[in-house]
Each structure stands twice: as structure tokens, then as C-alpha cells.
Amino acid sequence: MSPFRGIERWFEDLWQGAVFGLARAALGLVTAKRRLTFRKDLRARLPLDYPRRAILMDVGSPQEWVRTHECAKEPETVAWMESELRPGDVFYDVGANTGAYSLVGASLVGAEGRVFSFEPGAATYACLVRNVQCNGMSQVVPMPIALSDRTGVVTMHGRLEAEGFVASFEADEDCQTDQPSLCFRLDDLIAQMSLPVPGLLKMDTDQTEDLILAGAPQTLANPLLRSILVEVDTGSERCAGIHAVLCDAGFELASNHPHGTKGVANRIYRRSSRDESRMTEVS
């Protein structure tokens, strides 16, 4: 990567922010009906930074524009998907946000595969659906559902951050809105809706990954699930708990990919060869 790429990205962000700022100011000078029309016309379909396939993102805000650079942000996630996903596979993207990795996954599993994209945040889910539709990827199933260790209706607490709207179970001083949401244990959801078990599972849910795993013992035990990528805070007790649960379920830590200086990392787990051999003998 060019040593000047960071500066180039900074200027791109500054320019995009200025354009949206001018547009926002102009909208304040016209009638409400014309503002709605103008806002719709301002949306653009921009390419995702994935070189192997032409994938478009429906963009209407600076936060949505940031998501067009997801592949450069997490190259290890893309490399994991490219090495592990096969045509016809089932991929679960938990915490899909606006769907960048879901769309990459859909391009890899093909029309015969399935991608289930879990995004409970209402505003972000709407953008996810637009991105799926503008690429005509009917193999992607957007799911406005939160996953956790219980099944029922929960309250999600939302806040606006630099990279979009983030919803979580825990409220803090930055929360701006509350949103009721359907919540499922993953085992319950698969059983009740007769969903296929994933071959690959990706989780990035802002500190609820341990709760998701607590609600998925049967899914973790299923030999069809080959590999898991999970975002963790490496200095937290949750990280140690996640590692223990996955090891107990027959997975091994394959690689660790730190992000920045805050202790956040993507960890890739693969089902151990010993566990696969044991399951083959049992079957």
C-alpha cells in the first residue's frame, strides 16, 4: 500500500464531508417535499473496494460512504472468506451493518449458496436491504434480528458513530434512541425457521459475541460449521470466555489480527482436525 494512502484517504473524507455539508445547507432553503426529492437524488451507487467482483453500495451519507472501504479496512476478513467459502456454501454475517462482507460472501458462494445477514439496527438494516437489492443478490437474506443467549423481544440502544449507527444491548451516556427488536438464540432460530447451518460464521456485534455463542451450543457442535471469525477485545474477560467456549466446541485459534491500538482484534478459529476425525468416526 502506498505510504501516502492515509493522506489521500483523509483528503477524500474531507472532500466528501464538504459536499454533504453543502448539500445539507442547501436542503434547508427549499420546501419539505423538494427536500425529500433532492435527498433521494443525492444518493449514489458507488463501488465497494473489492477488486475481484463488481459490487455496488447505495450511499447517501458520509457514514455510508465510509463502508465502501471495508475490504481495505479488514483485509484478513476478506482473505478468510476467499480461502474458506465455496460455491453453494452457507455464510452467516452477524452484525452485518450495511452489508459489505455479506455482498463479498454472496459473490463467493454464488447463486446456489446462501448468506444470512443479521442487522437489528433499523436504519442500518434499511441500508443493508438497499445494498442487497441494487446488486440483485437474491442469495442474501437480510435478517432484522439480534442474536443473544435468549429468545424474545429486547430493547436495543442506538448511537451515531463516525462509521454509522450502532445498536447494542447496553445503554450508555451516548445513546440517542431505544428500539425494540426481535432477539433469538441462534439454536432456536435455526430450529424454528428451518435454516441451514452455516459453514462459516462471522461475528462483529460490539461486545455481545459471548452472548451469541452462549445461545448456540448445538450450532457450534455441528460439523458443518468449519470456521468462525469473531471480533474481540483481547484484554477483556469476554475474550477469554469466547476462547474457552470455542475450544470446548472443538475449534482451534488459527490466527489473530489486531486492529489499531485499542486491543481490538479479529480472531479466526477453525474446527480442529482431531475434532473432525472424531466426528467422522462417530458418523
> Last residue of some domain: 208, 228, 248?
228
Predicted model pTM: 0.82
> Last residue of some domain: 11, 27, 42?
42
Q: Do 65 and 196 reside in the same domain of the chain?
A: yes
Domain assignment present for 280: no
Q: Do 8 and 89 reside in the same domain of the chain?
A: no
Q: Do 22 and 125 reside in the same domain of the chain?
A: no
Domain assignment present for 56: yes
Q: Do 91 and 17 reside in the same domain of the chain?
A: no
H-assigned helices in 150-264: 186-193, 209-214, 217-221, 237-248
Q: What value does the mean pLDDT take over residues 88-117? A: 97
Distance CA 146, CA 212 (A): 9
The model's confidence at residue 122, banded by pLDDT at 50, 70 and 90, is confident
For residue 195, what is the domain's CATH number? 3.40.50.150
Domain assignment present for 126: yes
Q: Which residues pair with 142 in a beta bridge?
A: 117
pLDDT on residue 61: 84
Q: Do 27 and 162 reside in the same domain of the chain?
A: no
Q: Do 147 and 83 reside in the same domain of the chain?
A: yes
The grid coordinates of residue 240 equal: 477469554
User: Dihedral (C-alpha) 223, 240, 195, 227: value to the nearest 10 degrees?
Assistant: -40
Q: Residue 45 pLDDT > 80, yes or no?
A: yes
Domain assignment present for 282: no
Domain assignment present for 246: no
Give 150-209 pLDDT, tens digit per residue.
999 988 766 555 444 455 566 566 666 777 889 999 999 999 999 999 999 999 998 899
User: What residue numbers bound the domain in which 108 lies?
Assistant: 45-228
CB of 208 closer than 8 Å to CB of 148: yes
Q: Do 104 and 151 reside in the same domain of the chain?
A: yes
The model's confidence at residue 210, banded by pLDDT at 50, 70 and 90, is very high
Burial grade of 260 (CB within 10 A; 0-12, 13-18, 19 or more): exposed
CB of 271 closer than 8 Å to CB of 250: yes
pLDDT on residue 13: 72
Q: Do 12 and 50 reside in the same domain of the chain?
A: no
Q: Do 61 and 32 reside in the same domain of the chain?
A: no
Q: Do 150 and 101 reside in the same domain of the chain?
A: yes
> Last residue of some domain: 228, 244, 259?
228
Domain assignment present for 270: no
Domain assignment present for 235: no
Cβ neighbours of 235 (radius 10 Å): 12
Write the DSSP string, 171-196.
--TT--EEEEEEEEEHHHHHHHHTPP
Q: Do 31 and 53 reside in the same domain of the chain?
A: no
Q: Do 32 and 112 reside in the same domain of the chain?
A: no
Q: Residue 87 pLDDT > 80, yes or no?
A: yes
Q: What value does the mean pLDDT take over residues 250-266? A: 91
Domain assignment present for 249: no
What's phi and psi for 189, nearest 5 deg?
Answer: -60, -45
CB of 199 closer than 8 Å to CB of 222: no
As for how many domains the chain has, the answer is: 2
Cell 424454528 belongs to residue = 192
Q: Residue 39 pLDDT > 60, yes or no?
A: no
- Return the closest-CA partner of residue 150 out of 174, 184, 173: 184
Q: What value does the mean pLDDT take over residues 220-232? A: 98
The model's confidence at residue 15, banded by pLDDT at 50, 70 and 90, is confident
